[in-house]
Chains A and B, each alone.
Chain A
Amino acid sequence: MNRSTGFAFIAPLLVLMVVAFNLPIIYMLGLAFWDKGRGFTLEHYEGLLEAPVYLRVLGNTLRISLIATIANVAIGYPLAHWMRGLGRRARLIAIALVVLPFWVSILVRTYAWIVVLGNGGLVNRSLQWLGLTDAPVQFLYNELGVTIGMANVLLPFLVLPLFAAMIRIDDRLLQAAASLGAPPRTIFWKVYFPLTLPALAAGTLLVFILCLGFYVTPAVLGGGRVPMISNLLDTLINQIPRWEQASAISTILLIVALVIFAGYRRLDRKASA
């Protein structure tokens, strides 16, 4: 196949992508930096700085994303590490149990938490039955519920690549360390953990990017009381049409996501090298 036929294969998709993806994003960037009368302007960004609500939502988003990401690492690392040590059969079952939720609709997974965390839900009834609380604990429609839901939805994004990296670690390295007299704790922290670090860092960044743009879970589990950037954008587009402001915020979010993604790519290359 020569050069030009190679290009002919990608041409149809390229046309679609330019029309239905690249041009819309460029148009959005244009709205963020353009004013009909005056041309290029940063006015829409100045508007953002003046309104405290925007900064509050930004703070909310960063805080929730950070906590959800940390929770992801705290649950995901031990899970992936445990899966590595399982026998073949048990490991396949564990992989299936991680992959399946990954493909189930995010709405279903979010909705499930309403059922589990509600006042008459499983968690609250267990807590009351154990005598830990008298009144139901309020999990839903606050930051706690949103964070739990987000951590749950994103967990497979961390566990799967992390597990793939852990599987690649040669057992003989660990045996060599042991034969040289290193205690288990030292082997873990000095040999095993550093080998998993690039994959862990890459997975963490990926989860964090996805957190920043989360829309469904905060809308459903936050009940409108925990606005994140995406929900603010929804309001600016669908309720009080302020398209320029929405474009300006989207542009910031896009740049942040791309910068973090560049970091992710570097780490991911290192992890799979």
Chain B
Amino acid sequence: MGQKRLMKGNEALAEAAIRAGVQGFFGYPITPQSELLEYMSKELPDRGGTFVQAESEIASINMVYGAAGAGARVMTSTSSPGFSLMQEGISYLACTEIPCVIVNVMRGGPGLGTIQPSQGDYFQAVKGGGHGDYQLIVLAPNSVQEMANFAFLGFDLADTYRVPVLILADGALGQMMESIEFPDYVVKEHLTDKSEWATTGRINGREQHILTSLHLQPEEMEMTNKILQRKYREIEAKEVRYETLFTDDADLLIVAYGLSSRVSHKALELARKEGLKVGLLRPQTLYPFPSTVLNNLAEKVKKILVVEMSAGQMVEDVQLAVEGKIPVEFYGRMGGMIPQPDDILDKLRKMNESTLNV
């Protein structure tokens, strides 16, 4: 571990990506992610990588497709409206099994929305987003430290499974400053042998490498899908990441990710001071989702409160996971508004009262 530094989330992620050996960064300015792009433009060319400011997010994601397809470790970053523009390219990346890292520093929507933080892109991030059946591994940091950590993890997971990995942050995590330490990191060459598929030129007359998502015969296209689905089942079995707090004796369980989990943590502390037995489950991977953990917790706790900066998106996955065993309630703010600990506390109090009345 190195020395502690005070950094913005966007910059910490960029620095971590450079330390992870990123060879190319392709991006387009959009608030609240632009510091990531700016940091890359300043640092990456001097540290052995390539920086290109593209003409659009559409171009950015397709530059990623090209360079990653040729075997390079590359990434792009954007915020919500730009993430919408990237969906076509992401679908191609998923189908051709090209590893890369994509960052979405979410802002409020729909439409042009606001530049304030939001979690309104959960569906788009976790349920595919583009056309066809595919998944991204979705990492949800909740601190500047995790913004950095997940950059390293993201590249490793992308290479291990040959999938695009999405780091789903929000405007607050991107903009806020916290002290962080960068872990020692060595690029793990053994994760994947890119020479088996990357378009690097037909050296020594080897077989042609083709990266395509076009399979006109339905039997072939179904087989491509089956290969992807098999991979997703493996990811679901091996890569679920989450954090739990005070779940051992909890009656009420908050489920929240990213910035919402930070606010929920504060609400939990306030609630505990009042004697409310509140616990917290924080998914660090939104896909794969910690469904089994939640299902098991549903045997122990009495009620679940899902807190999101959206109209209620992850709450659907929580409901699916608990299979109706216990009530699942929701508290959310939208459009760039951040939930306040007191408001969550009020909600917890009411849930606790009605639990006692049962």
A binds B: no
